[in-house]
Structure 1
Amino acid sequence: MGVPVHVTIEEIRKPETDAQLIADSISPQLEKRIMFRRAMKRAMQNAMRLGAQGIKIMSAGRLNGIEIARTECPHDLWRDRHQGLGL
């Protein structure tokens, strides 16, 4: 219990281009039953508008409440990708 803890906080200058923050913003939209293509397209447009060199989003499961699960993967040009996971 007497171990010192060091925490470093860094500001993310462009949160729309951070992979984890994009995933965290899309997942609540899907939970609210917003159309998945619209949510993914909006996130892609925001990232590209703010200087991302490319983006790829993958969404899997029962999208829009349809009986059969599937995977959707719209993408735009990409270079070095960072991955984020939204649950």
Structure 2
Amino acid sequence: MSDGWSESAAAWIAELGEAGDFGRSAVLDAPMLARLRERGFRQALDIGCGEGRFCRRIQDLGVETIGIDPTDAQLRQARARDPGASPSPAASRVR
């Protein structure tokens, strides 16, 4: 039985692009990034990072990120969009 994400990953990546969907870009990003700025975090874990868009936004604040996702296609896209990142061995094992 599939969880559906493997089959829909390519469409998700193509549709959302770097900006993300409306809920993330217009509603969630600003308050979540503000919390990170206010508290001076140096590291963050993004569970369900998808193609890594929010990890890259967090990195723009100077915060080191680790993103994990159960969908291999999403992780491959995240790595492709952030070629300087070091892959986490645990991220590739998450299912």
- Normalising by the residue count of structure 1, what TM-score does the alignment of the two structures yield? 0.30
**Which one scores higher on RCO, CA 8 angstroms, separation ≥ 6?**
1
Whose Rg is larger? Answer: 1
* Higher share of residues assigned helix: 2
